[in-house]
Structure 1
Amino acid sequence: MEHSKNTKKESVGILKLFLLLLCMAGTSVFNQVLAAADQEPLKVTGVVFDELDTPLPGATVQVDKSTKGVITDLDGKFEIEVLPTDKLLISYVGYETKLVTIGDKKSLVVKLETKANELQDVTVVAFGKQKKESMTSAIETINPKELKLPTGNLTAALAGRLAGVISYQKSGEPGKDNAEFFVRGVTTFGYSSSPLILLDGFEISANDLARIQPDNIEQFSILKDATAAALYGSKGANGVIMVTTKKGKEGKPRVTFRHESRFSTPTKIPETVDGVTYMKLYNEAQFNDNPLLPPYYEAQKIQNTINGVNPYAYPNVDWYDELFKNFTYNQYYYLNVSGGSKDIQYYLAAAYTNETGILKNEKKNNFQNNINIGTYDVTAKVNLQLTKTTSFEVNMNSRFQNYTGPSVEANDIFNRVMDANPVEFPKYYLTDEEHRYDEHVLFGMNPRNSMANPYADMVKGYKDGFSSNILSQFSLNQKLDFLTNGLAFHAKVSIKTDSSHDSNRSYNPYFYNIKDYDELSNIYSLSQIAEGTKVLGDPANTRTANSHFYFETGLSYANVLNEDHELGAVLVYTQEENKNTAAEGSIQVTLPQRNQAIRARANYAYKSKYMAEASVTYNGSEKFDADHRWGVFPAMGVGYMISNEDFWQPLSEVMEKFKLRYSYGLVGNDNISDPRDRFYFLSDIKREGGYTWGKDFLTSYSGLKVNRYANPEITWEIARKQNLGMEVNLWRVLDIQLDYFMEKREKVYEKRAHIPATMGIINDIWGNVGEVKSWGWDGSADLNYVINKDAWVTGRFNFTYAKNKVTEREEPAYRDEYLRTIGWPVRQQWGLIAERLFIDEYDVANSPVQNLGTKAQAGDIKYKDINNDGIINDNDKVPIGYPSVPELSYGFGLSAGYKNWDISFFFQGQGRSSFFIDPYKISPFRNYRNVVSYIADDHWSQNNPVSHAFWPRLSTQDNSNNYKKESTWWLRDGRYLRLKNVELGYSLPKHTLRKVGLGNVRFYFTGLNLLCFSSFDLWDPEMGDNGLGYPLQRVYNVGVQFDF
């Protein structure tokens, strides 16, 4: 019975187990049925765009881990059947691949981003590239967009935009408006303080740099310290400017077209007085000279001029208005096409720039005398991937320029405006009865003086010319990973040819003056003063040609070992030759100039925390004797990325990056004198003039003449550079870089002063005896902040503070120590100290004797007797003001955007510089010269004996022995702050552009040199001592850019 119960229980248990298994099986089958239902294919549609919201035709849409896929159509659209669990890989050449999960989506909108630019993560350095994170050198880079200003000169955009660069522009003349620029200030008083300039690794001139199109620039860098510049050996002492141009990238063809219309007008022109004021002031000046003389300009002439009686008989000429236009119109066109596949990439660009001057043309001439420059730039860069490990690159940069302008220098024309007064003659006369059939221009002239007619000088002829500059580069790159991973070989050949042809033609103007004038009939008759010519003379032609050959080959290595050890090395050999094949004159110039070097660099980083770098260059220059021809230039640098330490992590949200670096090294400079003065180890002897001897070397005898004595000890300048730098990133939006630098420049080539005349040597002797010490700070702060998807803001501030002093210079044994330049900056201003103007003759009699050539009078400048010897002469000159090159340069600006609008502005300024007003150039009445309004408004007179007036007493005589001396009276503070540029832009909506096949269209307005704040207001303070030359230009620009 008991057994039966147990059996029954077991049967019931087995039944329950069976039912449980059956339920589980049913559930499994049910789930499989449901899963099968979910795996039914879905039809998914979508469209693929780039970051500009332009459809991408031909993009690949592929199911992940499958061979199934489709290609987007011309509108970037696709349709594909997939399972809900599938993922899609969407790719396009030149763009980052994107992985998209399907889920329950039946429609997709995919945006692909361009592959990250290599130059955003690495920096172009000497003979290669380096990761920014692992660099120990001081290199400043700038976004090339900031260099796109409405000017035909790239150097004009440098001022205040790069930490470590001091730059200023002294002329606005088209074609001759290059800015002067220095890396970390002036560090030598030798022949050249200009930096080395490289375009894609090839040395170019400052004029070549000025004409580079900013649209073609990929990266613009300044190499400031020894580790950055030491590989350039004997050419890198003054710093290096490196320009890298754009290359083609994988992807569909991209087209950019840009056009700008530019309206230019002078920022400021010195104002001159009208004719009536001129005559009154001239009479005052003559009275100061001799009160007994009657007025030079009679009251009737003054009154007739006031009344506007016949302007040819009583001229009242505004020479600035007669010669120059208020504005001029320029144009700029740019087009580029780039793209390519994995095997070939191309970048093609062409630009045309038209620049015109503000000079007026004479309608009777059959030629144009105004400045007109047409520049054509053509760039072609093609990269061929020959194999998986071999690539070949061809780079062609060409510039062709046509020039037309006046037969005299345009800058001189502006200066000559001061050489003509407004009342002596008009620019030309209308024909009288006797000359009514003359076809030539009847230019005005006064026979009583040698005063020039600036209008006649400007329109009497023209210059025209053509120049071509062609740079061809061929590069071969071979990976050698089969030997060791990261090893590569490269070879480059560069050839640059420059040629120019200039022609100058002019005629001799016919000059006239009024012989008789009948006031009742208002008729005048003319008298010819000078016979002219009716046709242009034979052209004076000038031709130049230059060729520059450069060869470079080497090995490079870059690898990461065990994920922690980053290694890099470069070994390069270079050789170059420069020929001036059409130069006339000195054989020193026509002989080829050659340079050879072996260069090596090695760098190491451990866990991106600790960095070290060392480099050395073995450089040879044919300028020096065999014992000094070769030099070694080593450098080293270390860095410490503190923010990569584990203990720094709590601070990383605030300060993501904190890096310290230090460098030290030697760099050379073999450009120590004029190119006509080469081969210092040889004497320069000519058969001209013979030799001289005796008292003051006045006795001579024909024969050989020694122009220069051989000195086999001459060698290059040496720069010992040190740099301590810091890099910080705050809140991931603000990058700060700060550097302190020091340099000792040795062996500066200068004229010897300790060789007495009794040695019998009349020629100057030169040697490497000078030394300069320089130091300072430079830094920058860059803000990049995205507010939301519609708004963003960026900002930039940078500064350079660079001081120097001469520590060794051979000078005469001055009795007064303060006359020595040692201890003072290079290009320091020197002059007399002006105390005030003499009040009266008693004041003159009781003051130190001014031994300046003429007797001082009341109203002349009174100078301080520094050495208390009772005499004012050159021994009383002392350092005054600041150097002529600014010690401080800075700039700051902001850019912001909201949806389709963007706006930006940039201020630029300089300080701690001084310049002289040249009193000789603006002195009135010398040869009846013109008068600047500033003098008319503020000068000493007997009725207004102001002791600190701007101008001393007026005089019709040459009183230059008093006022011409460089002194504090004419010294001016060169500091200023300028609103350099403002730009407002608007981009058309993307959805509108897609309908017509465009990627981007942007309209913009730009203003250049809009405002300037300075205590000096006679002319634009940036022009310094060239204030009467061709003025700087204020530019209003309207542009449009299309991207396809």
Structure 2
Amino acid sequence: MSGTVLDQNGAPIQGATVTVLGSTRGVLTDEEGRYSLQVEASGELVYTYVGFTPQTIPVEGRTEINVTLNPVVDALDEVTVVAFGQQKKESVVASITTVKPSDLKVPSSNLTTALAGRIAGLIAFQQSGEPGADNADFFIRGVTSFGYSNRPLILVDGVEVPASELARLQVDDLASFSIMKDASATALYGARGANGVILITTKEGKEGKARISLRYETSASQPTQNIELADPITYMNLANEASLTRGRVRQYQWEKIERTMAGEDPMVYPATDWQSLMLKDRTFNHRLNLNVSGGGKVARYYVAATYNKDNGMLKVDNRNNFNNGIDLKTYGLRSNVNINLTNTTEAIVRLNSTWTDYTGPLGNGADFYRQIIRTDPVLFPAYYEPDEKNLTTEHILFGNSGAGEYLNPYANLMKGYRDYTNAMFLAQFEVKQDLDFILDGLKASAMYNTTRYNYYQVSRMYSPFYYILSGYDKTTGKYTLTNLNPTSGHEYLTYNEDAKQITSEDYFQGILNYNTDIGEDHSVSGMLVYTMQNKISANAGSLTKLIGNAKFRTGWSFYLCIPKQILCGGEFWL
């Protein structure tokens, strides 16, 4: 027996389950929606797929059966994610918004940049596009304190994570993304949920053959708009006009303006375009995600690997023996395994690790851009070509003026680089137990999670040598340079250890949940939650801070659904 499974629009459904009624034999449809299965002529086939109405069709001696499955709209909408579980949508009285993970796919390796404009009540804004500093700030329904502590609580598979880990999540790995906005929705989280809660669950394996998914993207990044600065000639004329209107002498003589306009020796009459010198027109980024899922009736798995590479817009001088251009590499590994220990017991093991390797300049992109805007384009060049006495000089002859007190952004960019590594490892074990043998609708679960964070940064730099133009022969075009800091400058790289952070977090959660229907129109649900959290910082800086801060929380919620959609519900935190 063979055939094709299609949706209501005639598109093939990949991963639909086709089983023989009354047996465990079955197959999954391929990417074209096709299947092939041995079945007796008197048998019946059952066609199922999540979100679609199942169909049972007798074979009746046929060799090919093509099926069209219709979506169950009501079934898709009747369940929504709430605190510590799920609940029928008709009985939810809180403000909860659910977003399809596919709607969060944007040409970026940072998930926080995809939130703006997609979720009602959530305000997100991005202040920088620099790799490693491009996390978007966001808050839910305004700010709730004068201290501007606006960050919502972020939970991934029930475990609290910082916004930096949200940024490194991959859309391909997400199963659900929900925002809990008001007090009734976040009551079970206590004060932690005062600014709203973001609930995220990751994908789990489904029964069937192994399914492999590979996604590779490359994108070009460039400034949305560059500030158009006055050209050097206009700059000097306007500077003179500003001086004369204030009763001062000209800053730039006509000879300098005319020779600069004529394009004579740029070492003597510089006209430096700092933006073109230090910034690229565009850069290219790369993203790769590979995941495999599948399993049988006893065990199911989802395994994923991620690699992202983001490059910055700052240029690199090849005369340095190091590369200080922005290069951000992010790696990720995720493994979710579900095992049916018995017919009523399920164990889940989740392992997740993400780490980041960064190389870049000593400052950040915003600092360099401010320096570019504020630096005089005609006072001195970024660097001098060697004069006769510096033909064998190995270091870069950075330009300056006066006693060397002026800002040279090019020298600040090229004088060193920094590296940092940020790594997170998470291991989680969860057990779910159906307690129907005690009371119909009673379930229990327990989950233990341990998370390890580590971060370190090191910097390497040299002290630039600055030069000024001390002599110029107009007849021969030769110039003479003078070193402003021959004793304080050096060519070798110094080493500096910067911030380090090592933290360990342990979390335990136990839940007892009861949910039952009374007749056709009534339902009652209740939940008892116990949590324990312990966090230790290995380099807190003082004895009082170096304490494992154990937190104990318990809470319960109660809902009652009355006919005719007259609803009442409550959540209480103890």
Same fold? TM cut 0.5: yes
The Cα of 1:128 is off from its aligned counterpart by: 1.2
**Which residue, 88, 97, 114 being the options, matches 2:44?**
88
Deviations 1:75-106 (A, max 9, x none): 73356663xxx562245798975322457966
Whether the 8 Å CA contact 2:531–2:554 is kept in 1: the answer is: yes
1:590 to 532, 539, 546: 546
Q: How does 1:602-613 map to 2 (within 5 A)?
A: 602-607=558-563, 609-613=565-569
Query: Helix, strand or coil: the match of 1:434?
Result: helix
Counterpart position of 2:496: 539
| Number of the residue aligned with 2:281 | 326
CA distance in 1, matches of 2:557, 2:26: 49
| TM-score normalized by the length of structure 2 | 0.92
Residues 1:417 and 2:372 aligned together: yes
Question: Displacement of 1:118 after TM fit?
Answer: 8.3
Q: Which runs of 5+ in 1 are unaligned?
A: 1-44, 619-1044
> 1:320, 1:353 → 2: CA distance?
27
Name the CA distance, whole Å, in 1 between partners of 2:495 and 2:29.
66
TM-score of the pair, normalised by structure 1: 0.52
Aligned residues: 565
For residues 565 and 70 of structure 1, do their structure 2 counterparts lie closer, same or farther at Cα, with a shift above 3 Å needed? closer
Task: Write out aligned runs for 1:428-447 (5 A).
Answer: 428-447=383-402
2:244 paired with 1:244 = no
**Structure 1 residue 126 corresponds to structure 2 residue 126:** no
Map of 2:327 onto structure 1: 372
Check if 1:253 corresponds to 2:178. Answer: no
Is 1:77 the equivalent of 2:36? yes
User: Partner of 1:438: helix, strand, or coil?
Assistant: coil
Name 1:520's counterpart in structure 2. 475
State the match for 1:346 in structure 2: 301
Matched to 2:35, the amino acid is G
Instruction: Sort the Cα spacing of 1:70 and 1:299 in 2 relative to 1 into closer, same or farther, 3 A.
Output: closer
Would you say the 8 A contact 1:485–1:559 is kept in 2?
A: yes
CA contact (8 A) 1:93 1:251 kept: no
- 1:300 shift after superposition: 0.3
Q: Deviations over 1:957-1012 (max 9, x none)?
A: xxxxxxxxxxxxxxxxxxxxxxxxxxxxxxxxxxxxxxxxxxxxxxxxxxxxxxxx
- Which position in structure 1 is the counterpart of 2:251? 296
Q: Cα deviations across residues 32-62 of structure 1 (Å, max 9, x unaligned)?
A: xxxxxxxxxxxxx542547664788995445
Q: In angstroms, what is the RMSD of aligned CA positions?
A: 2.8
Q: 2:156 aligned with 1:199, yes or no?
A: yes
Alignment of 1:660-671 (within 5 A): none
In 1: Cα distance, 2:435 partner to 2:354 partner: 37
Which of 293, 297, 311 is matched with 1:356 structurally? 311
Instruction: Work out the CA distance in 2 between the residues paired with 1:365 and 1:121.
Output: 62
Aligned residue number for residue 170 of structure 2? 213
1:571–1:55 distance in 2 versus 1, CA, 3 Å: closer
Could you say which structure has the greater relative contact order, defined with CA pairs below 8 angstroms and 6 or more residues apart?
Answer: 1
CA drift of 1:607 comes to 3.8
Letter matched to residue 516 of structure 2: N
User: Separation in 1 of the partners of 2:235 and 2:441?
Assistant: 78
- Is the contact between residue 94 and residue 184 of structure 2 (CA under 8 Å) also seen in structure 1? yes
Are the counterparts in 1 of residues 177 and 201 from structure 2 also a CA contact under 8 Å?
yes
Hey, what's the Cα distance between the residues in 2 that align with 1:615 and 1:336? 38
Determine if the alignment matches structure 1 residue 551 to structure 2 residue 508. yes
Name the SS of the counterpart of 1:530 in structure 2. Answer: coil
Deviation at 1:554, TM superposition (A): 2.1
**1:493-532 deviations in Å (ceiling 9; x for gaps):** 1111110121101000111111111222222121111232
Alignment match of 2:410 (pick from 441, 451, 455): 455
AA of the residue aligned to 2:400? M
- Point out the structure with max Rg over C-alpha: 1
Distance 2:351 2:70 in 1: 30
Deviation at 1:320, TM superposition (A): 0.9
Give the Cα–Cα distance (whole angstroms) in 2 for the partners of residues 278 and 207 of structure 1.
43
- Is the 8 Å Cα contact of residues 17 and 26 (structure 2) preserved in structure 1? no
Alpha-carbon distance between aligned partners in 1 of 2:16 and 2:114, rounded to the nearest angstrom = 39
Tell whether the 8 Å contact from 2:15 to 2:49 is kept in structure 1 after alignment: no
**Letter matched to residue 468 of structure 2:** N
Q: CA deviation at 1:453?
A: 0.5
Identity of aligned residues (%): 38
Amino acid at match of 1:186: V
Q: Distance in 1 between matches of 2:175 and 2:24?
A: 39
The code of the aligned residue for 1:269 comes to N
Structure 1 residues 119 and 478: alpha-carbon distance in aligned structure 2, compared to 1, 3 A threshold: farther
Q: State whether residues 60 and 71 of structure 1, in contact with CA within 8 Å, keep that contact through their aligned partners in structure 2.
A: yes
2:17–2:47 Cα contact (<8 Å) kept: no
Alpha-carbon spacing, 1:603–1:442, altered in 2? closer, same or farther (3 Å): same
Q: Structure 2 residue aligned with 1:142, among 99, 108, 113? A: 99
Following TM superposition, by how much is the alpha carbon of 1:570 offset from its aligned partner in structure 2, in angstroms?
0.6
Residue in structure 2 matched with residue 171 of structure 1 by the alignment: 128
Deviation at 1:615, TM superposition (A): 1.2
Distance in 2 between the 1:274 and 1:376 partners?
Answer: 44
Cα separation, partners in 2 of 1:397 and 1:587, compared to 1, 3 Å: same
Residues 116 and 482 of structure 1, relative CA distance in 2, 3 Å threshold: farther
How far apart, in 2, do the equivalents of 1:415 and 1:548 lie?
39
Instruction: Say yes or no: does 1:567 pair with 2:514.
Output: no
CA deviation map 1:933-960 (0-9, x unaligned): xxxxxxxxxxxxxxxxxxxxxxxxxxxx
1:601 aligns with 2:557: yes
CA contact (8 A) 1:93 1:250 kept: no
- 2:363 aligns with 408
Listed as ranges, the matches of 1:920-935 within 5 Å are none
Q: How does 1:184-195 map to 2 (within 5 A)?
A: 184-190=141-147, 192-195=149-152
| AA of the residue aligned to 1:316 | A
Residues 55, 170 of structure 1: alpha-carbon distance in 2 compared, 3 angstrom cutoff: closer
Residue type at the aligned position of 1:590: L
Q: C-alpha distance in 1, partners of 2:529/2:331?
A: 34
Change (3 A) 1:150 1:504: same
Within 1, Cα distance between the matches of 2:66 and 2:393? 79
- 1:100 counterpart letter in structure 2: I
- Provide the secondary structure at the position in 1 that maps to 2:349: strand
- Cα shift readout 1:416-473 (whole Å, capped 9, x = no counterpart): 1133110011111111110001111111111256211100100110001212111221
How far did residue 123 of structure 1 move? 1.5
The one-letter amino acid of 2:568's match is A
Q: Please give the secondary structure, in 2, of the residue aligned with 1:279.
A: helix
- CA pair 132-296 structure 1, distance change in 2 beyond 3 A: same
